[in-house]
Structure 1
Amino acid sequence: MTTTPPLAASNARVKDARRLSRRSVRTERRLFLADGPKAVEGALGSPGTAVEVFATVAATETYAALAAAADGAGVRWTLVEDKALASLSDSVTPAGVVAVCRHLDRPLADLLASDRPRRLVAICADVRDPGNAGTVVRCADAAGADLVVLAGSSVDAHNPKTVRASVGSVFHLPLAVEADAASAVRAAQAAGLVVLAADGAGEVDLHAPEAEPLLARPTAWLFGNEAWGLPAELAELADHRVRIPIHGRAESLNLSTAAALCLYASARAQRSPAG
């Protein structure tokens, strides 16, 4: 661990890391910032991901276990002034620790061709809000999913808000980015997954008995945009369209809630004795 004085915001290394707040720089350099203790913990627990950790003196004392983990992993732990740390964080109240990390995504074809069978996948098509994207990743992780795909014009998977909303889950399961959502659907089908589109007008009721055999199969759930859902042409590519029943007067469910219900329904069916 460094014993030099904390770096100022004007330091060249700090300024270089600060450039990663721009998507174009993240894409070019294949690096991103993980902000907060949960994100840093996840990065340090993912071998080869964390490059350097910037932390204030106070945070180093508070998160001594993280500092020790960085030291054990051979990741540089750099002390910075409070203003320098604030310049690296987009949080209203920075937690005092930010990691520079290597990009996490891998080609979808490689992940689907893995020796490990994929039984539960989440495909997000044109999901624009980083908080929603990160929460879907968190839900997928909690449900035991094998893979998350951000497809089409979805938000940057390495956006600081996406990473923070995942509460570390972005480091726990494989992640793919696919520019064409239709290609992601076809790739999942080619890999033997049944694609279920979450659609309020779907012909299958998620809670109906006839849904159980579908849910028990290796599945890729297809989720659409927060505001307008799935385009008709994309929903038609799915093997089935599944609706979540609305028993009250609410017009609909938000994306992350719908994703949690669908993913957990599959997780339950796949883990049942008959699954």
Structure 2
Amino acid sequence: MNTDGRPQALMSNPRADRVKEVARLAGRPSRSRQGRFLAEGPQAVREALALHRERMAAGGPPVVEDLFVTTDCLERHPEFAGKPDPRMVTDEVLAAMSSTVTPQGVIAVCSFIDVPLEQMLAGRPRLVAVMVEVRDPGNAGTILRAADSAGADAVVLTSSSVDLYNPKTVRSTVGSLFHLPVVLGAELDTLLAELKRQGIAVLAADGHGDVDLDTLQDAGARRRLGARSSSGADGEADAGARLEAPTAWLFGNEAQGLPDAVLQGADHRVAVPIYGRAESLNVGTAATVCLYASARAQRIN
């Protein structure tokens, strides 16, 4: 039933034009042309609807433009009833719409939700995750989820990074895409200049960094205790990178890391120490460690 009590017609033809139109959103040309993307599965759709209702209540634009759900899924997740009215579909129709091999019973067609760089900076962020040519959907999703979990204020993807609205990337965020502002296609020179203009320190995550994360955390602990920092590397860290200060972390490409020009443009190059025999950390793992280090420092100061 619709929310006004009218019977809900069941979409049962997997070859219908409307079904094909939704399925085409799995491809970038259709997404770009329509300004829409797919959120699939209960968790992603639940978060999309939460943002949709929040924005609508504030008089903003809609997020969810169409919602398609099977009868079984609606029985398991009655929260999908209500505004916007869900369109009931058969399993076959949902499978024809979906970009996954095993659909989870619900798909939302969403409007693009990224924001301009100026809007993000106007919020005076204290912790920002920047992906520099990160191209793997799984890594991008991990970094975005880590930023969300650490309470970051925004995520930025530079040009040549993965398409955020690719269905694989959307799934890998597990709903975090709808929790914090995301800037797409940022030009790095402009981004770095604007971050520094606002007094936001730029830290590059780099395995060969000039200071390691432990040193920065130790220096922060000494500051909290009111002790004088020691000379040498710790003193340099105290004079420069402070994890408790407003910070933007740069995370680089999975294979090449951060380009030299980007490393030179950062305020500090920071290495995550490796105590075992692994050659390096996956960029998603390194991002999680760095973001949580900054988040903790900012919250206890």
User: Is TM-score (shorter-chain normalized) higher than 0.5?
Assistant: yes
Q: Are 1:167 and 2:167 matched, yes or no? A: no
Q: CA deviation at 1:145?
A: 0.2
Q: Are 1:178 and 2:198 matched, yes or no? A: no
Choose from 205, 224, 229 the match for 1:198.
205
CA distance in 1, matches of 2:212, 2:97: 46
Structure 2 SS opposite 1:101:
strand
Q: Are 1:27 and 2:25 matched, yes or no? A: no
Greater C-alpha radius of gyration:
2
Q: Which residue of 2 aligns with 1:10?
A: 15
Q: Cα RMSD (Å) of the superposition? A: 1.4
Once the two structures are superposed, what CA deviation does each residue of 1:92-144 show, in whole Å capped at 9, x if it has no partner?
32111110001010111221023xx2100000010101111111111000000
Residue correspondences, number: 266
Q: CA deviation at 1:28?
A: 1.8
Q: Which runs of 5+ in 1 are unaligned?
A: none
Q: CA deviation at 1:179?
A: 4.1
% identity of equivalent residues: 50
Structure 2 SS opposite 1:214:
coil
Q: Which residue of 1 aligns with 2:47?
A: 42
CA distance in 2, matches of 1:79, 1:39: 18
Structure 1 SS opposite 2:87:
strand
Once the two structures are superposed, what CA deviation does each residue of 1:151-202 show, in whole Å capped at 9, x if it has no partner?
1200111111111111110000001012423322222222221000000011
CA distance in 1, matches of 2:12, 2:192: 47
Q: Are 1:146 and 2:160 matched, yes or no? A: no
Amino acid at match of 1:40: V
Q: Are 1:97 and 2:106 matched, yes or no? A: yes
TM-score in terms of structure 1 length = 0.93
Choose from 113, 116, 119 the match for 2:126.
119
Structure 2 SS opposite 1:192:
coil
CA distance in 1, matches of 2:150, 2:114: 20
Amino acid at match of 1:87: A
Q: Which runs of 5+ in 2 are unaligned?
A: 53-61, 220-236
CA distance in 1, matches of 2:48, 2:248: 26
Once the two structures are superposed, what CA deviation does each residue of 1:34-90 show, in whole Å capped at 9, x if it has no partner?
0110110010000221111111121121211222xxx1xx21311112122112222
Q: Which residue of 2 aligns with 1:83?
A: 92
Q: Which residue of 2 aligns with 1:214?
A: 242
CA distance in 1, matches of 2:10, 2:80: 20
CA distance in 2, matches of 1:204, 1:219: 16
CA distance in 2, matches of 1:27, 1:191: 32
Amino acid at match of 2:75: E
CA distance in 2, matches of 1:151, 1:227: 16
Q: Which residue of 1 aligns with 2:224?
A: none
TM-score in terms of structure 2 length = 0.85
Q: Which residue of 2 aligns with 1:263?
A: 291
Amino acid at match of 2:191: A
CA distance in 2, matches of 1:218, 1:178: 22
Once the two structures are superposed, what CA deviation does each residue of 1:238-275 show, in whole Å capped at 9, x if it has no partner?
11110000111000000111010000000011011xx2
Q: Which residue of 2 aligns with 1:233?
A: 261
CA distance in 2, matches of 1:189, 1:75: 42
Q: Is the 8 A contact 1:57 1:79 kept in 2?
A: yes
